[in-house]
Amino acid sequence: MISHDGYNNVDQVYDGYMEQEEEWEREGLLDPAWEKQQKKTFTAWCNSHLRKAGTGIDNIEEDFRNGLKLMLLLEVISGETLPKPDRGKMRFHKIANVNKALDYIASKGVKLVSIGAEEIVDGNLKMTLGMIWTIILRFAIQDISVEEMTAKEGLLLWCQRKTAPYKNVNVQNFHLSFKDGLAFCALIHRHRPDLIDYNKLSKDNPLENLNTAFDVAEKYLDIPRMLDPDDLINTPKPDERAIMTYVSCYYHAFQGAQQAETAANRICKVLKVNQENERLMEEYERLASDLLEWIRRTMPWLASRQTDNSLAGVQKKLEEYRTYRRKHKPPRVEQKAKLETNFNTLQTKLRLSNRPAYMPTEGKMVSDIANAWKGLEHAEKSFEEWLLSEMMRLERLEHLAQKFKHKADAHEEWTRGKEEMLQSQDFRQCRLNELKALKKKHEAFESDLAAHQDRVEQIAAIAQELNTLEYHDSVSVNARCQRICDQWDRLGALTQRRRQALDDAERILEKIDILHLEFAKRAAPFNNWLDGTREDLVDIFIVHTVEEIQGLIDAHHHFKATLGEADKEYQSIVGLVREVESIVKQHQVPGGLENPYTTLTAHDLTRKWGEVRQLVPQRDATLQAELRKQQNNEMLRRQFAEKANAVGPWIERQLDAVTAIGMGLHGTLEDQLHRLKEYEQGVYAYKPHIEELEKIHQAVQESMIFENRYTQYTMETLRVGWEQLLTSINRNINEVENQILTRDSKGITQEQLNEFRSSFNHFDKNRLGRLTPEEFKSCLVSLGYSIGKDRQGDIDFHRILAVVDPNSTGYVHFDAFLDFMTRESTDTDTAEQVIDSFRILAADKPYILPDELRRELPPDQAEYCIQRMPPYKGPNAVPGALDYMSFSTALYGESDL
């Protein structure tokens, strides 16, 4: 028995038509007007086909009684030939003809349980209408299918979609929804807007609407009037079979346009995908070119090792490098992350749209950019290390240069007048005692000269070190050192000659003033000690730690402890002079106050001793100032270490957390994306800590601090970790978004995605986001993928491996694994589908014309096709013909345009 509200089974549609009528009649659901509407509609429908054979019917219950026109009707609508009819006029001839028609209907899979040939021959109207309805269902409605729905549901969905944009139209059924005529008008206007001005229609004029639709359909669409407007308006619930019959004629009339529209929509979808992909490719090329060009321009600067060999020049370069790291590089880090994100998104869209993978132009692969970036970072590290080493070298040079100048000044001061003294012939006019005094004096000078030998060697050694370290003013240093050495050689030679002269005169000069000699002997070393002490107290030093300056302070305290003994020696030596003065005064010795053995006087020693006592507290102050400086440096080390020891582990924890989320260990993809974006916000909120650390690091460098024993972290390692964290978050967000795009585009469920991720993670023991070939094979087997252990199984597996690892890296990453499993589980559009769509627009021709493309497609997509389609070169080509087949295969990488 047919259900009350649908036609859901082919057998049920054609079984029990009369039982359904009787049931509706018993339940009071059968409207007497339905029979009238069916009679008129079915008659018009039959005539719309019989007229093709040059005939028709006037009375549906009478004109089919002999079976002849019934058989003719079936031949016209089916295109097949029925058995030859009986031409006799007897009742049994008529029954035989009707049975031939009913047998043909049954041969098409229709079971006619309640309809017999005798009732048709006897003119039973209900039976005749039931038979015609089964024919209409079988040959006019059954083949209508929209989205795999049954005939009635498919036809209803078609009406709903076509009338959806029209106001006052809401198609819910095949009776009340069509009473006001607007639904019929909307169907016509949707396909032929030139025939009806829909905006002038009103829901309040149903009769006018129905007549307009029926007249236009009959005149321009070759659909005869099958319904009476008055019957539709005056019947509370019009007969849905009559309306379905009439609406099916609209469907078949517009079927060609429907196919063209479907084909055009499919082509538009494919072209939009290609246009978007091309835009992303152009964007990638632009970003890649810009980034690589910036790296190319930056590398020579980082590779340069040219300076003016001065500390100020190197400090300026270091400040320029800090500006580069703070201002110039961070935007490029973001650009690199965006470039990788765009590339991954593009490749995902290409895979999802069944397009070939994008291959950037030569030198602009992601790997090329990564290698260039790695080279940049290596150059940065090398450049900064060079700058710091240069600062240490130049600081050492400045210290050595000051030390050289100080010692050279002291030595030149000591040698002033010595050559003239050694060349003097004064001893030739001396008395004996004066001669002996001159000899003793010369001996004292020789002692003093020997004591100065170490100072000259120190000066030469410092000059040599300045040369080795490439001091910028080494020319003047070398010239001065050479002058000192040449003079020293002359002094040595002059000393030897004068000694020889005094030895020759020693036979004559015998008497030596013992007291003057004693003074000379003791004053000379004490004087040397004073000179050395004065040099030590003003000596320039350089230290880098508190321990080093504390060592100098301790040494100074130890020196001060020896001043008491030095004071005793000073008093003793000065006592010798006082004794000489006493003897001279007592005995009135001519020239006795002049010491022939030395040029030193008690006044000289007193002056120098006073200078030493003044320099001691000054040295105390200098050392204490340096101690405070080193304590401040120690505080900076601790500040940097305290902050770095907090920031470094924080970055490592964030990297571990982001990696764990990226492995799909936290809920759905949306949950993972939400958590990753929360981490991204948290990381950017943490940036002030990095900036504070940069400020401390700058203070550390400006204070010439080159090591820090309180932390294992350097500013460089923290910068790299920070950039890795930002890159990891961006990459993982991009990967999750691509997985969502894959899941939604391919229609895979969250459960399937979870199953893929769980299986992948199970075999990814090291949490590296990749599988070896053996791990990948085990993962496939765990998901139910059958891979034989024979030779054929190995061949099949290597074919799969070539798909998921096309570059033979030896690893399978999750994106490639997901793409493979998605393609195994879902369908995608193909080149064949696009070719079929173009063939519909081209009316089955092997080529298409530009005017046809402009008529069927939006303007921008039509021009896109016209510009890229090659000319058609096949047989029967006409001017302007385009080859849509090679164009379609090229869209999917199956041929080259």
Question: Contact 266/841 with Cβ under 8 angstroms?
Answer: no
Q: How does residue 566 score in pLDDT terms, banded at 50, 70 and 90? A: confident
If residue 372 lies in a helix (H) or strand (E), which one and from where to where? helix 366-415
Which among 832, 826, 825, 780 is positioned nearest to 801, based on CA atoms? 780
What pLDDT is stored for residue 824 in this prediction? 67
Q: For residue 579, how many other CB atoms are within 10 A of its CB?
A: 13
Distance between CA atoms of residues 676 and 661, nearest Å = 7
Question: Contact 173/156 with Cβ under 8 angstroms?
Answer: yes
Mean pLDDT of 789-815: 83
The pLDDT of residue 26 is above 50: no
Q: For residue 319, how many other CB atoms are within 10 A of its CB?
A: 13
What pLDDT is stored for residue 15 in this prediction? 43
Mean pLDDT of 381-403: 83
The pLDDT of residue 30 is above 70: no
Mean pLDDT of 147-158: 76
For 184-188, 277-281, 781-785, which range has the lowest pLDDT when averaged over its residues? 781-785
What pLDDT is stored for residue 349 in this prediction? 85
pLDDT in tens, 218-249: 998 889 988 889 888 888 888 888 898 989 88
The pLDDT of residue 556 is above 90: no
Residues of the chain with pLDDT > 90: what percent? 14
Q: How does residue 894 score in pLDDT terms, banded at 50, 70 and 90? A: low
Specify the pTM. 0.53
Distance between CA atoms of residues 596 and 435, nearest Å = 8
The pLDDT of residue 20 is above 60: no
Q: Which sign does the torsion angle of CA 519, 522, 527, 533 carry?
A: negative
Strand ranges for 741-893 from DSSP E: 770-771, 812-813
Q: How does residue 185 score in pLDDT terms, banded at 50, 70 and 90? A: very high
Q: How does residue 211 score in pLDDT terms, banded at 50, 70 and 90? A: very high
The pLDDT of residue 326 is above 70: yes
Q: How does residue 7 score in pLDDT terms, banded at 50, 70 and 90? A: very low
Distance between CA atoms of residues 805 and 796, nearest Å = 14
What pLDDT is stored for residue 331 in this prediction? 93
Q: How does residue 427 score in pLDDT terms, banded at 50, 70 and 90? A: low
The pLDDT of residue 2 is above 50: no
Domains of the chain: 33-265 (1.10.418.10), 270-353+355-402 (1.20.58.60), 417-600 (1.20.58.60), 628-739 (1.20.58.60), 748-821 (1.10.238.10), 831-892 (1.10.238.10)
Mean pLDDT of 653-681: 82
Phi and psi at residue 882, in whole multiples of 5°?
A: -115, 145
Q: In sequence order, what are the residues at sequence separation of 6 or more whose Cβ sits closer than 8 angstroms to the Cβ of residue 895? A: 886, 889
> Three-state SS for 798?
helix
Mean pLDDT of 296-316: 85
In Å, how far are 1, 118, 842 from 20, measured between CA atoms?
A: 6, 20, 46
What pLDDT is stored for residue 17 in this prediction? 45
Mean pLDDT of 394-398: 78
Q: How does residue 1 score in pLDDT terms, banded at 50, 70 and 90? A: very low
pLDDT in tens, 745-777: 766 777 777 777 778 788 877 777 788 988 888
Mean pLDDT of 344-354: 85
- Give the chain's mean pLDDT: 83
pLDDT in tens, 832-882: 888 888 888 888 888 999 988 887 888 888 899 999 899 998 888 889 999
